């Protein structure tokens, strides 16, 4: 299974790709799609769409995961983040991928063991689980954490299905 994690952002949309073979996780690539803040919203979204589409085409993930948006005090910023999140959901769905969605605290709990972990702790644990990884930016580290979270959830779901199938005999 090849998993792409996406950390939505209008200025910086992080992405990370890992391969999953049983309990083994292997880093494939990571990076950030950038948009120019001086452009209008539609142009920025189109730019992010094009960049993320090229990343999906290049790395051919079989699954994708996107971080859910948290609502902050700035409604306008939350709405803009929602637009970027729509691109993060649309591109993999358009490629025919199943897209998992995870709350930020669920990602942190899965990767670090604590739902309120700091960004530095997430980055550290991503590096521990993907030895030798060179991480492009904090947004890419978050995207890799989202991919790791999805991989763990898919493995757990697979074990549950096996247990259910075994119990049905």
Q: Which residues line the annotated binding site for Mg(2+)?
A: 7, 67, 139
The verdict on whether 136 is a catalytic residue reads no
- b/e 116-135 (16+ beta carbons within 10 angstroms → b): ebeeeebbebbbebbeebeb
Question: Which of 7, 63, 123, 142 is an active site residue?
Answer: 7
Q: Is 139 a catalytic residue?
A: yes
Which residues are annotated binding-site positions?
7, 67, 139
Q: Quick check: is 7 catalytic?
A: yes
Pairing assessment for the beta strands 63-67 and 98-102 based on DSSP bridges: parallel
Contact 51, 89 (CB under 8 A): no
- Cβ contact 52:93 at 8 Å: no
- Active-site entry in 63, 67, 123, 142: 67
Distance between CA atoms of 148 and 27, rounded to whole angstroms? 10
Q: Which of 63, 123, 139, 142 is catalytic?
A: 139
Residue 21 CB neighbours (<10 A): 8
Active-site annotation, residues: 7, 67, 139
């Amino acid at each position: 299974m090849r998993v792409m994690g996406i950390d939505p952002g209008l200025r910086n949309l992080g992405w990370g790709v890992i391969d999953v073979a049983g309990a083994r996780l292997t880093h494939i690539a990571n990076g950030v799609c950038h948009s120019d803040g001086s452009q209008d919203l539609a142009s920025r979204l189109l730019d992010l769409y094009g960049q993320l589409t090229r990343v999906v085409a290049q790395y051919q993930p079989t699954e994708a995961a996107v971080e859910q948006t948290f609502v902050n005090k700035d409604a306008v910023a939350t709405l803009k983040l929602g637009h970027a999140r729509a691109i993060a959901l649309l591109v993999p769905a358009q490629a025919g991928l199943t897209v998992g969605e995870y709350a930020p605290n669920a990602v942190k709990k899965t990767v670090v063991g604590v739902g309120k972990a700091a960004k530095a702790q997430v980055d550290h644990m991503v590096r521990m689980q993907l030895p030798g990884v060179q991480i492009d930016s904090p947004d890419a580290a978050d995207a890799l954490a989202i991919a790791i979270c999805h991989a763990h959830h898919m493995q757990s779901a697979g074990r549950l299905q096996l247990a259910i199938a075994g119990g049905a005999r």
